[in-house]
Structure 1
Amino acid sequence: MIIAGIDEAGRGPLIGPMVLACIVMDNELIKYLDKVGVRDSKILSKNRRKRLFNIVTRLATSIYIVKIGVREIDLAVNRINIDGLNELEAKKVSEIILKLPESVREIYIDSPDKDSMKFKRRIRKYIGDRDIKIICEINADKKYRIVSAASIIAKVIRDDIIDEYKKKYGEIGSGYPSDNRTINFIKNWLKDHEDFPPIVRKSWKTLEKFLH
């Protein structure tokens, strides 16, 4: 049986896109993911993720990537607050599902919403009568290796984007609001510019303190 798994990287940071990755794979190969050490990307080192990235790409039947830019994220959040981001993510996940071949009969999804059934209903709303079993759960990236694999692909791609930003802008930290390097980057930028850097999500409430 052919199955798929979807996860994202970069939902919480101030900086850069959110990256969605979908892995399509023969269910018989999932045991190899476990054997080579595929786990939730958040508990793996950067070098380990890179090595597993190469293994996953070889094992996968196909991989789908969607990058959601900072302006699109801002529009969604400003329109309906953070729930707007859940709606946007559900829409993007649905677009991926509709591109999958009919041979994919099950898809495992890491829910960004504490109410995973609500997130699943959002997806169903967009995919119409597409015949596919959806397993949508919180912490699916820890429970299902196919989702762990997707989390690794998404994380490595986003890390590469952040590395490119660093080449252009210098030290920007991890991009998370809790990172002093990221906060200092924004502070220093605002000393010389009238607006936030173009790679920053202006809808994040953390930025309000810079406006006073």
Structure 2
Amino acid sequence: MEVKKEVEIKLEKEDNMKNLILESPLPDCVKSEPCWLGIDEAGRGPVLGPMVYGICFSPISLKEKFGEMGFADSKTLTEEQRESIFDKINEANDMIGWMVEVLSPTFISTSMLRRTKYNLNALSHDCAIRLVALAIERGANIAEVYVDTVGDPTKYQEKLKGIFPSIDITVAKKADSLYPIVSAASICAKVTRDKAVKKWKFQEDINTEDLQYGSGYPADPNTKSFLANNMDYVFGFPQFVRFSWSTAAIILEKDAAPVKWEDDDEDENADKSNMALTSFFCKKDHNPKMDRHIYFKDRCIETVKKL
């Protein structure tokens, strides 16, 4: 089956609330020869849809032939040009391998909003590391890695070098315009995200006929219109929306049903009829204000009394 068609089928069939790994067959040459590998992402900024991380790898000995394929940063190409180059990548399956991970909007939002802080940079780093490790696990002989930076390039490079000490790693700003292998990864990621967004299966009761949501970027008029017209007063947005984005949070705060959270702390002025049962098991002179916060208890962090 044609690889691109297989990607489309998997995107249609899989649960889009979960992350998904898609990959090409592994050419024999990438197992036997030292390879260079590029990493890039698509969809970091939009409030709608998944973020996709992609890697592409090929033997170092074929760098010149690889460069003749006309790769460029996916953002500088039209959709038709990206599709055409993605076809070339799959046709050259005797010398090129690729892999992408589709990170669902639900995963992105719940990760960023969990109690222990997990920001988008850390999430991106972990995804890139996971893909490189997976390529190696599949049998690819990775000798060089080129990465379009997320955050400080020096710190990111040191982090990757600590995990993959035997690999020559280069982290650079705008690596997608400097290294063809990163450009190829960028195209794989962008084509996959475009297909995921176009073929999105809404789990909610939404009229998808003539539905337009644009690029997903907050400034896009179609995206703004989608957010304004598809918010439930009680349940908020569909899973297609990254509710951890400030764009979505502001709309929910303004237009959705107000939520009052139960306060865990006891009201100092409450009468005994409303006192918590646990209060009867405390010492008589117990002062709740002196209790250590649950954050420190969960992590077994103690106060330093002596140095």
Q: When the two structures are superposed, what TM-score results if normalisation uses the length of structure 2?
A: 0.62
* Structure 1 counterpart of 2:71: 38
Instruction: Measure the CA separation in 1 of the matches of 2:73 and 2:117.
Output: 24
Aligned ranges 1:130-145 → 2 under 5 Å = 131-145=166-180
The separation in 1 between residues aligned to 2:243 and 2:179, in whole angstroms, is 34
- The aligned runs of 1:1-212 (5 Å cut-off) are 1-59=34-92, 60-79=95-114, 84-99=119-134, 100=136, 101=139, 103-113=141-151, 115-124=152-161, 127=163, 131-165=166-200, 169=208, 170-190=211-231, 194-210=235-251, 211-212=253-254
Q: Which moved more, 1:72-81 or 1:35-44?
A: 72-81
Q: Which amino acid aligns with 2:158?
A: R
Larger radius of gyration between Structure 1 and Structure 2: 2
Q: Provide Cα deviations, 1:13-46, integer angstroms capped at 9, x if missing partner.
A: 0111111111111224333444332100000000
* Counterpart Cα distance in 2 of 1:139 and 1:145: 11
Q: How many pairs align?
A: 209
Counterpart amino acid of residue 126 in structure 2: K
Structure 1 portions without partners, runs of 5+: none
Contact 2:58–2:96 under 8 Å retained in 1: yes
- TM-score, normalised on structure 1? 0.88
Aligned residue in 1 for 2:298: none
Q: Matched residues, percent identical?
A: 32
RMSD of aligned alpha carbons:
2.4
Further displaced range: 41-50 or 115-124 = 115-124
Q: What is the one-letter code of the residue matched to 1:174? A: S
State the distance in 2 between where 1:175 and 1:104 align. 34
Deviation sequence 1:56-100 (CA, Å, 0-9, x none): 223343211111111221133224899711111111111112122
Offset, 1:102: 5.8
Comparing both structures, which one devotes a greater share of its residues to helix? 1
Aligned equivalents of 1:24, 1:16: Cα separation in 2? 26
- Output one character per residue of 1:123-161: Cα deviation in whole Å (capped at 9) or x when no partner: 345x3x552111111110010000001101100010001
